[in-house]
Amino acid sequence: MKDTLMILEASYDWRLIVLSVLIACTGAYTALEINRRLSKLTEKKHIYKWILIGASVLAASVWSMHFIGMSAYQLHIPLDNNQVWTVVSFLAAFAASLTAFYVLHQKQGSRPALLFAGLITGAGMTGMHYTGMYAVSFAGTVTYSTGSIIGASAIAVVGSFAAFALFTYMKTKRPFLQRTGAAVFLGLAVSSMHYTGMEGTSFCIPETYALFLTPEPVVNQAALLTATITGTAVIFISVQWILFQEKKWFYQTHFMDAITGLHNQRFWMQQPPCWINEFQTIVYADILRLRALNQSYGFASGDTVLKQVAGTLKARISPESRVFKSEGSKFLICLKDDTAFSAAEQLDALQHPYEAEAFSDSQRIHLSLCFGGTEVKSSHPPERLAAQAEIALAHAKQQERTLFFYEEKNHQELSDEWMESSLRKALQNEEMDVYYQPQVDVVSGKVSKVEALIRWDHPEYGIISPGVFIDAAERFGLIMPMTLQVVEKVCLQLQEWKISSAPIQRVSINLSPLHFELVDANRLITDMVQRHSISPEMIEWELTETSMVENLQQMADQLKELEKKGFSIALDDFGAGVSSLTRLQELPIHTLKLDKQFMEGFPSQNRKQQVIQLMTNFAQLSGMEMVCEGVETKEQLESLQKINVGLIQGYIFQPPVPASELVFSFSPLLSSSDTEEKEPEN
């Protein structure tokens, strides 16, 4: 019988080979990214859903690669595919991918799990290949070399294991290029398995059928079209799924409180300034002694109390009013007059006693809440109203009153006494923390420069707004001790970053306008930097444009003194104040920070686009670095990329965070700016 068979000559279409490899690599990357995102999930139904989608993507891409590769392998005789075995070949790949993803998630990347996942994936892909080959039907027989079967299987298993190991190792560090390399490695391994197997495959027909050979190679167009559409469609749909879920996660994690389900204060601050004018009263509410409840009975009881108090607050106000979750045990309430329930009546209802079931045995406890309120005035921005309500809340606690209402006429005397003593104690006990916000290179997405921002977490009253305590520190003569504490903490952090080889090369520190009126102010901050052996090139002193109005010559002399010592100078809020180029020329400015108000209405307003472009050109021609602050939306980011501003700072990348949470690269976000959109954030 062998003597009557002839082996058909085959040729490859390199274009289809490239397409098959591209489908395999793209599908592998999408599937591995889905696997990486499984770590964010806690609910089983969502976990299983993502495992199912990831397995479908990997199986579909490998299956499509196989049949596109079979179309690239061209014979001079028509080939057909048995539909049943074609489906079975997909199920083999799907079952292997599903098992591997499940094991990897359950065992969290342990070595046995990686070995098993690599083995099952390699076996599944090999099974898919030879099942798919069995589905091929034509007027002849197919023979396989034992060596090619062993080689293809080994490539599939080893390649799958290596790719899973690389991706699992890099999952926490998230380097985009290396994750892409791992996905490409897996795609190439699967493709190599296919083409290695094909090298040992022979298509034979009886010699009597030689007359039926066609002059030109025959391509199974139906199989090629089906495989291409299937692979492309599954990958595209899965990418859209990932983007949709990322947007949903971003919104939930940045604008929703996970415990109460309420919108958080960040969402409130994100609203247009005029939105606040719809309300009559802003109220801060705080649950007293919640920290003690957490310490005594556990955080589960505290979370239960927060949920129930949130529900009670919503029930005691009108549907037109709103409740937002603030930090810790605080709530922010916006009261609006209703035809049947005025803001004053709602405020009275809020002060009624509170109870909650904090324990598993349905035991009810009495709760104490105190409130600080302020009247909404159209001339006051939301930040100021929030600060006023926060100050009123602090006084309510201090005076052990249920409600304290902010009044402009007596606020100064009441708040000064409390604020001065609290600030002095905070500085003495070093209660101030330094947070950092990255300034991201608009081209590379790398972070080598950050801004240091002071934060005050009062041990009794929680987070106090910088807009409140910085102004108070300036009035009480405490701004210099506060600045020195910030400088010292930044120097210590720079030393830690140097030890850990972090890419941060410069930190921007804000200087108060009063700094330039204080004797020896420059000496104090430079001595602090020298004491910690920090290079002056790693520190940038930042001043606001409005501080240039008075004592310009004195300020210029002190800034030049700092420049001579090796420090750089940044001008904050550029464009919000006097914007005098004459004044700007007199100062040694190295960095211009465009005021965040320019982002309002940008990029929809052409005039603002033109102004930002003009300022960017000015900074570049003047040899200065340009930083755009307040960037929050994807549209703003895309437009700024086109303008090619130098650095971008804003919540679209990261809010001010402790040094341990700082991200050093946002390359994936920049590279996906044309496909992904995030909710704005403040």
The confidence score (pLDDT) of residue 175 equals 61
Confidence label for 309 from pLDDT (cuts 50, 70 and 90): very high
pLDDT at 521 over 50: yes
Cα–Cα distance, 365 to 470 (Å, whole number): 39
Percentage of the chain beyond pLDDT 90 is 21
Side-chain half-sphere CA neighbours of 403 within 13 A: 14
CATH number at 419-671: 3.20.20.450
Q: Which of 76-90, 346-360, 482-496, 571-585 has the least mean pLDDT?
A: 571-585
Structure tokens at 376: 């909404």
For residue 193, give the 3-state DSSP assignment: helix
Residue 318 main-chain phi, psi, to 5 deg? -75, 160
What ranges do the domains of the chain cover? Answer: 2-255, 265-406, 419-671
Nearest 5°: the CA angle 131, 132, 133 is 90
The confidence score (pLDDT) of residue 251 equals 75
Q: Check residues 455 and 163 and name the one with the higher pLDDT.
A: 455
Cα–Cα distance, 271 to 155 (Å, whole number): 55
Q: Determine the average pLDDT of the residues in 118-123.
A: 86
Cα–Cα distance, 223 to 248 (Å, whole number): 37
The confidence score (pLDDT) of residue 17 equals 87
Contact (Cβ atoms closer than 8 angstroms) between residue 548 and residue 578: yes
Q: Which of 90-104, 167-181, 308-322, 351-365 has the least mean pLDDT?
A: 167-181
pLDDT at 612 over 80: yes
Q: Determine the average pLDDT of the residues in 546-552.
A: 59
The confidence score (pLDDT) of residue 578 equals 47
What's the chain's average pLDDT? 82
Asked, as a colleague might, if the bond just before 603 is cis with ω within 30 of 0, I would say yes
| Residues in CB range of 527: below 8 A, 6 or more apart | none
Q: Which residue, 482, 489, 487, 467, is CA-closest to 426? A: 482
pLDDT at 675 over 50: no
Side-chain half-sphere CA neighbours of 263 within 13 A: 16
SS (H, E, C) 33-93: HHHHHHHHCCCHHHHHHHHHHHHHHHHHHHHHHHHHHHHHEEECCCCEECHHHHHHHHHHH
Cα–Cα distance, 8 to 634 (Å, whole number): 56
Residue 280 main-chain phi, psi, to 5 deg? -100, -30
Exposure class string for 435-464: b at 16+ Cβ within 10 A, else e: bbbbbbbbeebebbbbbbbbbbeeeebbeb
Side-chain half-sphere CA neighbours of 173 within 13 A: 10
Confidence label for 416 from pLDDT (cuts 50, 70 and 90): low
Q: What is the pLDDT of residues 387-399, one digit of tens each?
A: 888 888 887 887 7
Distance of CA 273 to the CA centre of its chain: 25
Q: Determine the average pLDDT of the residues in 388-416.
A: 74
Which residue type sits at 318? S
Q: Determine the average pLDDT of the residues in 362-370.
A: 83
Q: Check residues 470 and 574 and name the one with the higher pLDDT.
A: 470
The confidence score (pLDDT) of residue 493 equals 95
Phi-psi region of 7 (alpha: psi -120 to 50; beta: other; left: phi over 0): beta
Q: What is the pLDDT of residues 73-115, one digit of tens each?
A: 888 888 888 888 888 988 988 898 888 888 877 766 677 888 8
Cα–Cα distance, 162 to 176 (Å, whole number): 17
Q: Determine the average pLDDT of the residues in 452-459.
A: 86
The confidence score (pLDDT) of residue 545 equals 65
pLDDT at 159 over 90: no
The confidence score (pLDDT) of residue 680 equals 40
The confidence score (pLDDT) of residue 376 equals 87
| Residues in CB range of 664: below 8 A, 6 or more apart | 438, 446, 447, 502, 503, 504
pLDDT at 580 over 70: no
pLDDT at 3 over 60: no
Q: Which of 81-95, 215-229, 507-521 has the least mean pLDDT?
A: 215-229
Residue 489 main-chain phi, psi, to 5 deg? -65, -35
Q: What is the pLDDT of residues 267-299, one digit of tens each?
A: 887 787 778 888 999 999 999 888 777 777 777
Q: Between helices 466-475 and 408-429, what is the axis angle to 10°?
A: 90
Q: Check residues 28 and 331 and name the one with the higher pLDDT.
A: 331
pLDDT at 244 over 60: yes
pLDDT at 345 over 80: yes
The residue whose two tokens read 């040094």 is 659
Q: Which residue, 536, 427, 537, 411, is CA-closest to 477? A: 427
The confidence score (pLDDT) of residue 674 equals 45
Q: What is the pLDDT of residues 171-201, one digit of tens each?
A: 544 566 767 777 787 788 888 888 888 888 8
The confidence score (pLDDT) of residue 676 equals 43
The confidence score (pLDDT) of residue 672 equals 53
Cα–Cα distance, 118 to 156 (Å, whole number): 8
**CA distances (Å), origin 682, targets 255, 359, 469, 651:** 9, 36, 20, 6
Q: Determine the average pLDDT of the residues in 117-128.
A: 86
The residue whose two tokens read 């700094």 is 515
Q: Which helix (H) or strand (E) holds 319?
A: none
Q: Determine the average pLDDT of the residues in 4-26.
A: 84
Structure tokens at 95: 């079952």
DSSP 330-352: EEEEEE---SSS-HHHHHHHHTS
| Residues in CB range of 585: below 8 A, 6 or more apart | none
pLDDT at 565 over 90: yes
Fold for 265-406, please state it: Alpha-Beta Plaits (3.30.70)
Q: What is the pLDDT of residues 661-674, one digit of tens each?
A: 999 988 766 655 54
pLDDT at 679 over 60: no
Q: Determine the average pLDDT of the residues in 414-418.
A: 63
